Structure 1
Amino acid sequence: MPNRLAGATSPYLRLHAGNPVAWFPWGDEAFAEARRRDVPVVVSIGYSTCHWCHVMARESFEDAATAADLDAGFVAIKVDREEHPEVDAAYMAAAAAFTPSLGWPLTVFVTPQGRPFFAGTYFPPEPRSGLPAFRQVLAAVREAWTDRREQVDETADAVVSALAEAGAPAAGPAAAPRLPTVAELAAAAASLASREDPEYGGFGGGGPATPKFPVATALRFLQAPALRDAFPEATGVADRALAAMASSPLRDDVEGGFFRYATRRDWTVPHYERMLTDNAQLLDVALDAHREDVVRGLAEFLIAVLQRPDGGFGAAQDSESWIDGARSEGGYYARDADSRAELEPPAVDGKIVTGWNGLAIGALARAGALLDDPTMLEAARWAADAVLETNVAPDGSLVRASLDEIPSRARATLADYGQLASGLAAVAVATGELAYANRARGLVDACLDATGGIGVPGGSDPVLAEQGVGAPDAASDGDEPSGFAALAGAAASLWLLGAGESYRGLAERIVTAHAVDALAQPLAYGALLRVAAQLATPPRQIVVVSADSSDPLVTAARGIRADVVAIVDEEQAQAWSAAGFSLFEAKTRAGGVATAYDCRDFACRLPVTDMAGLSRD
């Protein structure tokens, strides 16, 4: 049996390389084989740190009898949802037609033409708690395919038609698009704050067994400077959520990182995987909440645990590890520091996801600049260089991920472009190095066609496109900023650096297109609403020109919470200006000493050369 997964650029696929199942990776080859044999396709979607994915693998995919059933009646495809988020989103949308209990592992049955006709999540090896055994599901699907093909085709056509309708623009009259006002944003924040758990913090309530997620995108919206006067209570909601999580079992007090979520309302009994997305975003939350202890713990986790030898940050750390010869979920994290030292830590998924690295790069750059911490800054710069070296195709477009410096064949998403561009812009500001800002600008520009349309360079996943299967083009957040929100945020960052009004225009266009939904559902659109808040009030930008990074004026400027705080020398300021970043025009050292320029909405006050002249407000 050919082993098609051994050389995959996904640790999740490599975990399944030794299964007795004749797995295919995602691609045309699997569907061509299904057409040749006239059998349905099983698409099994998961990720390397998913506990129930591991369980189903041990119970079913490592079982010879189950593998024989799969190979005899199906073509089996294994997909890493983190490597192919578009595939996951499309099939997750299709699965909603068959089960309300969505999650991973996701098991989708499709025709050789790629049209879904049945789906579920985890299936046990024997019937359990109302779930049929996986082999029973295989037998039933195979019987339907053989004896009731017409019914199968009708179901598949109906599902694909429903997905197409869901992805179509809404019909009917709509209000003229415009940016949300500060008052509207404050009302959305108040609506979000009304969902605060008054006893344990965070969002939600209900019974003690109610799961709780960090929802970092929503917390970041509540921390938007535009809300400080319009809805002062917003900051308190975010601060209380972070404080509750930081003092709970959701946070690993030995290594500093946060777990994916808690299975109980009081933040206890965590789901123990530790994701790059969550921890990168929570670092920004902690930075704005003035929790330096949490910031440094998160930075230590990112650098010491997730950062790989090539500089990029791995996608996640597993929930399971080996203890006393058995797999244990969370057992490693229950030990103290000394006991852990005796154990092999849970595996890190070393896959370098482009956009997720952008989130970490930006957070570490901002923290490193504000706290004047060279270790954080160097980690951010190292990761940025690694991603730009490896996760870029020969034609200059981004790829979704890489593993061991080998790029994946999966195309980058809009979120990858926006998140990486934002991270690079933050590194540029923190270091004064123009090259990162130029790359950020190039990534945003690449997402615009000749008519100003927004899209991913190279288009969507080619297999899904050929099959006519897709998911709604959502601007709502999952556990990370959506593609639209990320691109809007990157464009706004470039505008703040003086790259031009066209970038503000792009951010405005994205925000206005989704403003009605975002204001009505703030918990699901936190990242977009934060950009809206940034656009709703005049920005404050500070540029300090100094030949000495330890000058007291530089130190004073770093401590100011402004939209931009850039520290450059005269040569750097001239380079930024020459490259079209107008914020740096005519910025020099007055009288040969460090000079600060305090700009409000791009109108700069008289330059100052002493700390007393630099207002904190």
Structure 2
Amino acid sequence: MAERLKDQASAYLRQHAGNPVDWWPFGDEAFDEARRRDVPVFVSVGYAACHWCHVMAHESFEDPETAQILNRDFVSIKVDREERPDVDSAYMAATQALTGQGGWPMSVFTLPDGRPYFAGTYFPPRQLQGTPSFRQVLEAVASAWRDRRSEVEQSAAQIAAHLASNQVANRNLLGDLSAVHPAPGAGSGAAEALEAAVTALAAAEDTEYGGFGGAPKFPPSPLLRFLLAHTRSGAPTAETAAALARRTLTVMALGGLYDQVGGGFARYTVDRRWQVPHFEKMLYDNVQLLRVYAHFSRQEADGDLQALALRVTRETARWMADELGVPGGAFASSLDADTMVDGHRVEGATYVFTRAELSDILGAGSPALDLLDVDADDGASHRLTGSTLRLKSVPDEAQAAVWEAARSRLAAVRSHRPQPERDGKVVAGWNGLAVAALADAALALADAGMPGDWMLPAAEAAAGYLMDVHWDGRILRRVSNEGAAQGIEGLLEDYAGAAEGLFALYAATGDPRWHRDAQQLTATAVERFLGPDGLSDTALEPEQIRQAQGGQSAANPLDDAVPSGTALFAGVLLTSASYGGPGRHQELAEALVAHVQRAAPAIPQAVGWAMSVQQSILDGPRELAVTGTDPGAVARLLAAARGAGGPGLVIAHGPAGGVPLLEGRETDEPALAYVCRGMVCRRPVATADELRAELAAGQAD
């Protein structure tokens, strides 16, 4: 009965196409049908890699009797939260308001106009420890609609008012964007706020196991970007930031969050010690962490730690290409947490090894076994038949060689096991961040004298896919499947993420095409998302979501698993201006991160990307133009700049091709480098040592 889902871009929706539930995709038609039948709407939100989404699907949505109730009393809508974060965000806020918690699968019951009146997450098929069964919930919710309509309407109105207040709070946090000139003295206040954020993070660090907070423990990716940027700031808290980043990045790279055999990071660990992951692997996590480890490798002085960072960079990039690459050059969204084994979904089955298996594969006396930290009980306490693989400590050069040989043998065995399913949809913003990550990783490896020549062509292929498939010259589509864009226009995070990737690719290649495309996307985002009421995350908000939020709408400036669209947008606006784009772009970027002064000391983990943008603003930002007739000499200057300048340095090279930062700076010399601020440049230098001195002098200004 769910034929409407069979051709959707989302693998999650297609997984439900054979259910006896009469599913609809999210849209006006489904809500119109609810009005026509005078029934409430059941909105089920999840994603393809979600373990508990699969559990509830098997228990309830594949059950004919449960489906009969849903089909009789509701219009049922299936939503992929990755495809429709706008829908997910609104209904998640409602779920958290009603229950005090959130998660997926998310089960929301709404009026035919989209306003929720009851919500929860996973409901079991039978009553369990005080949690009602899903059928009990369905009967109670439907009964309330039939018999207590006025109470339902009142509840929906109260929830909508609460969500409206959230939107107003977001708008107030960003402030009035119609006056984009920064307030006098804002720079000093911002610097103090960033220092206070580092101090707060030091107090919140898990000093025993690294990272921040307890279980479950997530990689703080946007925050790590800021900490690495702050390391180069010269602030009194710079060394504290460096130590926080170093400890967190080290424990994540050694622990079970990182796949020591295949590369790539899981979504989070269920424990505080980074040992046992929730095994789903998401593109959005891995592109952020790939880029962070590439930057970390440049800043870390310890040779063994630098080697570890480079290994993680190389292996994560390779995993992305091998496991998430799709025809045409883009990257799929995720790998499932579960593996099908003998007809049953088993979480983590592809990845774990028992101690006996390790001894059989590597040999009982293998020195590689001494490097590993594995569960003595073979993971029984975590319901795993086997253990994740963790390294006990940072390996030295000899130990790294031992582990590399062992890793190859384990990978060969693992390749014959059943593999997790893949969600093949391509998300524009995440692919933009993948382009940036691959570009930066390629340069980090090249500057370290390590192989990675395939990465820049891979980044260019992904960028070409975005511009050929997702961009039609007017708007950017959020998702595609099998080479065809489908569904909604991209959100602010898609435009900004794609532009971020293209700017990074231009900095890596010097091809002015990527600069031109990035500037076009940035300018279009200004037109599409900035209006009289301020900044919005969506260009065309669904009426049902606007109703759910009490008629209010505003961009959410706080990071989640991915950087906020606001923070990403601020970053690309700053980069645009640094390359010579409209001056208003820098003013707008400064206005979009002005909230950092209030938010950073209080909630630093929610504004990591915005803090990194603010750090770049405080740094100038700085620009570098490199020209010359000798490619080798130009390359040496670029490598010196990347090593000394930090992740906030904007680099232009290659043909001028419409890049204002390069115009008028052509030379007959082998190579010249101009260090600039606000397009005002210092005297050109010709050697790597002179350039490093100029960059150091620029930081001290």
TM-score with structure 1 setting the length: 0.92
- The alignment status of 1:223 with 2:241, answered yes or no, reads no
**Separation (CA, whole Å) in 2 of partners of 1:88 and 1:380:** 30
Q: Is the 8 A contact 2:537 2:556 kept in 1?
A: no
How many aligned residue pairs are there? Answer: 603
1:614 matched to which residue of 2? 691
- Give the AA of the match of 1:386: Y
- The alignment status of 1:438 with 2:516, answered yes or no, reads yes
**Separation (CA, whole Å) in 2 of partners of 1:369 and 1:301:** 18
Displacement of 1:521 after TM fit?
1.1
- CA distance change for structure 1 residues 190 and 2 in 2, over 3 Å: closer, same or farther? closer
Displacement of 1:599 after TM fit?
3.3
Displacement of 1:451 after TM fit?
6.9
SS of match in other structure, 1:584: coil
**CA-to-aligned-CA distance 1:65-120 (integer Å, 9 cap, x gap):** 11111111111000000111000011111112321121000000011121111000
Displacement of 1:468 after TM fit?
5.9
1:328 matched to which residue of 2? 346
- The alignment status of 1:289 with 2:296, answered yes or no, reads yes
SS of match in other structure, 1:39: coil
- The alignment status of 1:233 with 2:240, answered yes or no, reads yes
Displacement of 1:38 after TM fit?
0.8
Displacement of 1:3 after TM fit?
0.8
SS of match in other structure, 1:229: coil
Q: Is the 8 A contact 2:567 2:609 kept in 1?
A: yes
* 1:160-559 matched pairs, under 5 angstroms: 160-168=160-168, 178-179=186-187, 180-205=189-214, 210-225=215-230, 227-231=233-237, 232-290=239-297, 291-335=309-353, 336-372=410-446, 373-392=452-471, 394=472, 396-449=474-527, 453-455=534-536, 458-465=539-546, 473-513=555-595, 515-551=597-633, 552-559=636-643
Q: Is the 8 A contact 2:160 2:547 kept in 1?
A: no
Displacement of 1:262 after TM fit?
0.7
**Separation (CA, whole Å) in 1 of partners of 2:631 and 2:48:** 43
**Separation (CA, whole Å) in 2 of partners of 1:548 and 1:218:** 39
- CA distance change for structure 1 residues 554 and 514 in 2, over 3 Å: closer, same or farther? closer
Q: Is the 8 A contact 1:220 1:526 kept in 2?
A: yes
Q: Is the 8 A contact 2:653 2:662 kept in 1?
A: no
Greater mean deviation of Cα atoms: 295-304 or 5-14: 295-304
Greater mean deviation of Cα atoms: 69-78 or 284-293: 284-293
**Separation (CA, whole Å) in 2 of partners of 1:186 and 1:550:** 40
- Give the AA of the match of 2:220: V
- Give the AA of the match of 1:219: L
SS of match in other structure, 2:345: strand
SS of match in other structure, 1:408: strand
- CA distance change for structure 1 residues 153 and 612 in 2, over 3 Å: closer, same or farther? closer
Q: Is the 8 A contact 1:312 1:352 kept in 2?
A: yes
SS of match in other structure, 2:4: coil
Displacement of 1:2 after TM fit?
5.6
**CA-to-aligned-CA distance 1:9-41 (integer Å, 9 cap, x gap):** 100000000111110001111111111111111
Displacement of 1:496 after TM fit?
2.2
- Give the AA of the match of 2:649: V
Q: Is the 8 A contact 2:6 2:14 kept in 1?
A: yes
1:62 matched to which residue of 2? 62
- Give the AA of the match of 2:661: L
SS of match in other structure, 1:43: strand
TM-score with structure 2 setting the length: 0.82
**CA-to-aligned-CA distance 1:355-395 (integer Å, 9 cap, x gap):** 11111111111222333343111111111111111112x46
- Give the AA of the match of 2:317: A
- The alignment status of 1:85 with 2:54, answered yes or no, reads no
Q: Is the 8 A contact 1:447 1:454 kept in 2?
A: no
Greater mean deviation of Cα atoms: 33-42 or 90-99: 90-99
Q: Is the 8 A contact 1:546 1:567 kept in 2?
A: no
Displacement of 1:416 after TM fit?
1.1
**CA-to-aligned-CA distance 1:324-374 (integer Å, 9 cap, x gap):** 443210010115312211123211211111111111111111222333343
- Give the AA of the match of 2:412: D
**CA-to-aligned-CA distance 1:411-437 (integer Å, 9 cap, x gap):** 211111111111111111111111211
- CA distance change for structure 1 residues 12 and 549 in 2, over 3 Å: closer, same or farther? farther
Greater mean deviation of Cα atoms: 162-171 or 464-473: 464-473
SS of match in other structure, 1:78: strand
**Separation (CA, whole Å) in 1 of partners of 2:289 and 2:2:** 43
Greater mean deviation of Cα atoms: 476-485 or 516-525: 516-525
Q: Is the 8 A contact 1:496 1:564 kept in 2?
A: no
- CA distance change for structure 1 residues 560 and 26 in 2, over 3 Å: closer, same or farther? same
- Give the AA of the match of 1:301: W
Displacement of 1:499 after TM fit?
2.0
Q: Is the 8 A contact 2:190 2:597 kept in 1?
A: no
**Separation (CA, whole Å) in 2 of partners of 1:59 and 1:312:** 34
**Separation (CA, whole Å) in 1 of partners of 2:337 and 2:225:** 26
**Separation (CA, whole Å) in 2 of partners of 1:352 and 1:122:** 27
- Give the AA of the match of 1:110: T
1:125 matched to which residue of 2? 125
**Separation (CA, whole Å) in 1 of partners of 2:114 and 2:48:** 24
SS of match in other structure, 1:53: helix
**Separation (CA, whole Å) in 1 of partners of 2:106 and 2:495:** 27
**Separation (CA, whole Å) in 1 of partners of 2:454 and 2:628:** 21
**Separation (CA, whole Å) in 1 of partners of 2:172 and 2:291:** 38
**Separation (CA, whole Å) in 1 of partners of 2:76 and 2:294:** 45
RMSD: 2.3
Q: Is the 8 A contact 2:114 2:547 kept in 1?
A: no
Q: Which runs of 5+ in 1 are unaligned?
A: none
Higher share of residues assigned helix? 2
Displacement of 1:228 after TM fit?
4.3
- The alignment status of 1:27 with 2:27, answered yes or no, reads yes
Q: Is the 8 A contact 2:196 2:600 kept in 1?
A: no
**Separation (CA, whole Å) in 2 of partners of 1:565 and 1:217:** 19
**Separation (CA, whole Å) in 2 of partners of 1:397 and 1:429:** 24
Q: Is the 8 A contact 1:354 1:412 kept in 2?
A: yes
Displacement of 1:323 after TM fit?
2.5
Q: Is the 8 A contact 2:123 2:132 kept in 1?
A: yes
**Separation (CA, whole Å) in 2 of partners of 1:495 and 1:310:** 31
Q: Is the 8 A contact 1:545 1:596 kept in 2?
A: yes
**Separation (CA, whole Å) in 2 of partners of 1:186 and 1:458:** 35
**CA-to-aligned-CA distance 1:438-486 (integer Å, 9 cap, x gap):** 2212222223349785446743235434666566632000001101101
- Give the AA of the match of 2:23: W
**Separation (CA, whole Å) in 2 of partners of 1:613 and 1:120:** 61
Displacement of 1:533 after TM fit?
1.0
- CA distance change for structure 1 residues 244 and 513 in 2, over 3 Å: closer, same or farther? closer
Q: Is the 8 A contact 2:577 2:583 kept in 1?
A: yes
- CA distance change for structure 1 residues 271 and 423 in 2, over 3 Å: closer, same or farther? same
Q: Is the 8 A contact 1:89 1:471 kept in 2?
A: no
SS of match in other structure, 2:118: strand
SS of match in other structure, 2:97: coil
**Separation (CA, whole Å) in 1 of partners of 2:60 and 2:161:** 32
**Separation (CA, whole Å) in 2 of partners of 1:420 and 1:519:** 30
**Separation (CA, whole Å) in 1 of partners of 2:277 and 2:116:** 33
